[in-house]
Structure 1
Amino acid sequence: MKVSFSRSMLTAFAAAVLVASGAAHADVDLAKSKVSAVSKQMNVPTEGAFKKFSAQVKFDPAKAAQGSAQMTIDVASFDLGDKMYNDQVAGKDWFDAKTYPQATFVSSAIAPAGGNKYNVTGKLTIKGKAETVTVPVTVAQNGATQTFDGVLPIKRSTFNVGTGEWKDTSIVADEVQIKFHLVATK
Structure 2
Amino acid sequence: MKSAMQKIAVVLIAFFFCIQSSAQIFLPVDAESSVKFSIKNFGLTTAGHFAGLKGKIQFDAGNTTSASFVVSVDAASVNTDNNTRDKHLLKEDYFDVAKYPLINFTSTSVNKDAAGKFLVTGNLSIKGVTKQISFPFTAEVQNNGYRFSGSFIINRRNFGVGGNSMVLADNLQVSLDVFAKKD
Same fold, TM exceeding 0.5?
yes
TM-score w.r.t. the length of structure 1 is: 0.81
Residue 176 of structure 1 is aligned with which of 158, 161, 172?
172
State the distance in 2 between where 1:125 and 1:161 align: 12
Query: Which of 1 and 2 has greater Rg?
Result: 2
Counterpart contact for 1:23–1:68, Cα < 8 Å: no
Q: Which residue of 1 aligns with 2:3?
A: none
List per-residue Cα deviations over 1:129-163 (Å, max 9, x = no partner): 11111121111123623110011100001001011
State the aligned residue count: 161
Percent identity of paired positions between Structure 1 and Structure 2: 27
Can you give the 5+ residue segments of structure 1 that lack an aligned partner in the other structure?
A: 1-21
Runs of 4+ in 1 over 3 A off after TM superposition: none
SS of 1:100's equivalent? coil
Amino acid at match of 1:25: I
List per-residue Cα deviations over 1:82-140 (Å, max 9, x = no partner): 22111100111111111211111001100113333111111111111111111211111
Choose between structure 1 and 2 for higher RCO, CA contacts under 8 A separated by at least 6 residues.
1
Most deviating of 154-163 and 38-47:
38-47
SS of 1:81's equivalent? coil
Counterpart contact for 2:135–2:152, Cα < 8 Å: yes
SS of 1:173's equivalent? strand
Q: CA deviation at 1:51?
A: 2.1
The 1:100/1:142 distance shift into structure 2, 3 A limit, reads closer
SS of 2:147's equivalent? strand
Q: Which residue of 2 aligns with 1:185?
A: 181
State the distance in 1 between where 2:143 and 2:94 align: 41
TM-score w.r.t. the length of structure 2 is: 0.82
List per-residue Cα deviations over 1:18-71 (Å, max 9, x = no partner): xxxx91001222111011111111221111111222131111011112100011
1:16-165 alignment to 2 at 5 Å? Answer: 23-142=23-142, 144-163=144-163
Can you give the 5+ residue segments of structure 2 that lack an aligned partner in the other structure?
A: 1-21
State the distance in 2 between where 1:75 and 1:143 align: 28
SS of 1:62's equivalent? coil
Q: Higher strand proportion, which one?
A: 2
